[in-house]
Amino acid sequence: MASSLLARLGTFFYLVHPNTTSFEKAEDVPNYPNEAVPLFIAFLVLEWIITKLKSKDDIRTNDMLTSLGNGVIHQVTGAAIRGTTLIGYEWVYNKYRLIDLDWNSPVTWFLAALGVDLGYYWFHRASHEVNILWGSHQTHHSSEYYNLSTALRQSTFSRYFSFGLYHPLALLGVPLPAILVHQHFNLLYQFWIHTEVVKNCGPLEWIFNTPSHHRVHHGANKWCLDKNYAGVLIIWDRMFGTFEPERPDEKIVYGLVSQPQSLNAVWLQVFYFRAIFEKALSMPSWGDTLRALFYGPGWVPGAPRLGDPSTFPDVKAPRPKYNAQLPLWHEVYVVVHFGAIVVMQQVFISKFATFSWYMALVFLVFILLSVGIIGAMYDGWWWAPLVEAARCACYVAYARSYPVTAIPVVDCAILGYFALSTLLWASQSMSVIQATAKEAKLK
């Protein structure tokens, strides 16, 4: 048990052995990020305790739930389309590879690690320098706080834009399982660098991406924009001219330059695409329409490809943060329901291979709706109580006949909680309907 825990912990820091993390077949590659969920939670709790002991208020429940909600969306949609971004990789590997590498060779393992990390650098850079890609990646930058939960604020659409990015490694003879392994490790490594608890890592700062380097990347300050794209190795930024060290004399403002005022994880996944297409449609020519899509987010007609930095807003601290609050009872309610969402996420991922397409769709829609309604409650959307009452009622109707977790005690507890929730929000919904009707009469 202890050795298994240490092995999982090692995946966060790339402290793994090639012999135990090399696989001959793609289906044998474990889902390392999903296996790490208990450690994600443990690290989040540890960081929260350390932050509170330092008397700081830099971790808010509303922001954390939004980040975790985006993480849930990323995981469940990823399970539904797992492997699609690498479609054709094995065909290229089998037909056109230039070198034959043993799947269990350390040389293959390290080549895959370097190749995936370099590929990530360029994809991450493109996600900032191509507006349509930024439309998905901005989700990750939408938190105004910088803590471990921010790492889980992932876009469900970014993975689609990475199609073909790693296929050149097939020409070098890198087998598909090695790519999958290092995509997981690259993602897990980036979890621990999303924190303000770790200040400086000494000599490691020269080679590896660290919390200090990545804090700069998440800044909305002008000097932070489009810097430090690295996944694991900061050497790529040093080589390609995108490195910027943290400035001890200037406080970093986290979030987007134009910060959205919302805590709805589902909405944050898609909201910027509307702005992109509105900008593209407003252009006077087809050429400028395409530039609005494929040039940088700050581009305007007559400016360089990435825009004119002198025209960018110079965001400085302090900047007011969007901090919508709920009454204590309501916040306890959404936290408990989020726990139920995590349980359903785990059931969905573990049983996805055995689900019919209809059952998978039902689970997926329910999880997305559950995450979205929490954000809608924080944002004060008037219809939230009505949708929440319907959501809870649907769960009760389904779970009475079909156990969700197959653990009787857990299923009974969740069912009872959803039944009480249905009654609560049915009552709240009546108040909303009466208030709406009264307002309509006044008009």
Closest CA to 181 of 116, 106, 88: 116
Compare 158 and 379 and report the one with higher pLDDT: 379
Contact (Cβ atoms closer than 8 angstroms) between residue 220 and residue 235:
no
| Mean pLDDT of all residues in 120-127 | 96
User: Can you give the pLDDT at residue 433?
Assistant: 67
SS3 call for 294: helix
For residue 296 the two structure tokens come to: 């940088």
Q: Which pLDDT belongs to residue 432?
A: 63
The pLDDT mean for the chain works out to 90
**292 CB-contact burial (10 Å; exposed 0-12 / middle 13-18 / buried 19+):** buried
pLDDT at 235 over 60: yes
Q: Read off the pLDDT band of 410 (50, 70, 90).
A: confident
Please tell me the distance from the alpha carbon of residue 7 to that of residue 420, in angstroms, as a whole number: 41
Which pLDDT tens digit goes with each residue over 369-394?
999 999 999 999 888 999 999 999 99
Best CA proximity match to 136, nearest among 161, 119, 116 = 161
pLDDT confidence of 439, banded at 50, 70, 90? low
In degrees, rounded to 5, the angle at the alpha carbon of residue 2 between the alpha carbons of residues 208 and 21 is 50
Of 14-28, 73-87, 96-110, the one with minimum mean pLDDT is: 73-87
Residue 405 pLDDT class (50, 70, 90 cuts): confident
CB 104 within 8 A of CB 22: yes
Q: What is the pLDDT of residue 356?
A: 84
User: Of 166, 177, 174, which is closest to residue 22 (Cα–Cα)?
Assistant: 177
CA triple 187-189-191, angle to 5 deg:
80
Sketch the domain layout of the chain as residue ranges.
2-240, 268-311, 328-435
List, for residues 31-72, the tens digit of each pLDDT value.
Answer: 898 888 889 989 999 998 998 888 766 778 899 999 999 999
**Residue 146: pLDDT over 60:** yes
Quote the pLDDT of residue 443.
40
> What is the value of pTM for the model shown?
0.90
The C-alpha atoms of residue 29 and residue 425 are separated, in whole angstroms, by: 43
Q: How many residues does the chain have?
A: 443
Residue 254's pLDDT is what?
95
